[in-house]
Structure 1
Amino acid sequence: MPTTVDAESTLIDPTALSRKTQSSSRVPRSVQRMIGPVLIIVVWQLVVSTGLFSENTLPRPLSVLSAAWRLIANGELQEHMSISLLRVGYGLLFGIVLGLVLALISGLSRVGENFVDANMEVLRAVPNFALVPLLIVWFGISETPKVLLITLAVAVSIYINTFSAIRSVDAGLVEAARSFGVQRAELIRRVILPGCLPGFLIGLRLALTGAWLSLIFAETINAKRGLGRMMSDAREYFQLDVVFVLIAVYAILGLISIFIVRALETRLLTWRRSFDGN
């Protein structure tokens, strides 16, 4: 019987649990999060090596790396990527500003909500690529429809999440601030904006993902340069290794975007304690 008690006490020994947590935390979280992508590459190599897929339909990882090196060496990848990054940058800038302004108008006023919210919900429901023909008719095949398509996708994500966060601010905090004589401008700055910050950051994460997805559709609008143009050419000439390179580029850019948002969350939300999975 004492042996059983000792075993149970060992199982729930907080010191042992602490040592286990410390040993697992020695590996940086950024490295731990790469386990999934590394496993995918390993499975990819195994699938090709065992002959489940022909190299004509699924190139080896080394073939994709060779194609990436070739595109980097001749400067083709950098040239097209710089154009795409510029389009996404403009789309993010305009979309974040537009989404925030509309969210504040709608979230802080019922009159503003009546004018804005239904329209943004309609934009949310309409598939992004369905707007491509209209944008071409209205703005031609210049850079304007490409940037505008990204802007709309970003603005919708920012608006939906920020508006929801504004309306989710604790009403008790608002009433408490008003009872102390806080004016509306200071109430917005001191209570509402900090309260909606987590929702805005969630919207920013979705907006970055939406920006890269919209870029693919945007660069089908007679784009002479850009990652989407490279993808179209590679598909047309059946260059599967180049297609996989571009998929990897999109994935890396998406991961970088997520890491940026997480860094902002860590810096701006230090006051908020949340469950981290432990």
Structure 2
Amino acid sequence: MDKSTANPTAGTLPPGALLERVRAQSPLVHCITNYVAMNFAANVLLAAGASPAMVHSEKETAEFAGISGALTINIGTLSDHWLTGMELAADAARAANKPWVLDPVAHHATSYRRNAIARLLALKPTVIRGNASEIIALDGGTSTASGVDARDSVELAAGAAVNVARKHATVVAVTGEADFVTDGHQSVRISGGSHYMPMVTAMGCALTGLVGAFAAVAPASPLDAAIAALACFAVAGEQAAVQAEGPGSFSWRFLDALAALTPQSLTGRQRLARA
């Protein structure tokens, strides 16, 4: 089902055009992410042309969300004061009509996480980005995962993604061996990337941040924004893998490939298919 084309769904904002916007506008992206992901996620955003800010204190998250182009929330290393900061930031982003992206890391693993994700979902995220196991669990299904890693296929999670998107009036991006993005009515599959990607810590967390960057420059088109961010990862991953000798060299080559992306190379290499 692979084919090189412009966005086959909404179509008004192709990935290449959105990449140009990110490069030109360098949107400020407020990232509340986990300790493991902060450095790599910040480098990914910088490589793509965005401006990251890792601000998580409850004393400033609301104010900072209001001045940012977009907010991203990742619950990887969760604690009470971080959760309070997340809720305050999401409330402020909504009040300022700024998009915000939720990464429900291992939300099904413990009762504490399940309660936290319910509170955050009530604040109506613009986009939810997760692996297949996380999205299946969000839909009330049973996942085979016991921690942060996916143990289910993206294909198996497609129906759950559509259900979650409709229930919460949001865009859902399921990432894995082939990505699936839906707003509950239109859906797209994105192929590409590399088998090294799951071997690099914080790759998915960094992608959540990049979705935020694209949403910041296309706040009225979150489906297009999510597709564009995932297409960038797919193409950069393919390019980085060509000379990579393992996950270590792939990691820095990925940053270089992401920084080297142009709208033309993205349009020529992206692989999007109507689902």
TM class by shorter-chain length? under 0.3
Higher RCO, Cα 8 Å, sep 6+: 2
Q: TM-score, normalised by structure 1?
A: 0.27
The structure richer in strand per residue is 2
The structure richer in helix per residue is 1
Q: TM-score, normalised by structure 2?
A: 0.27
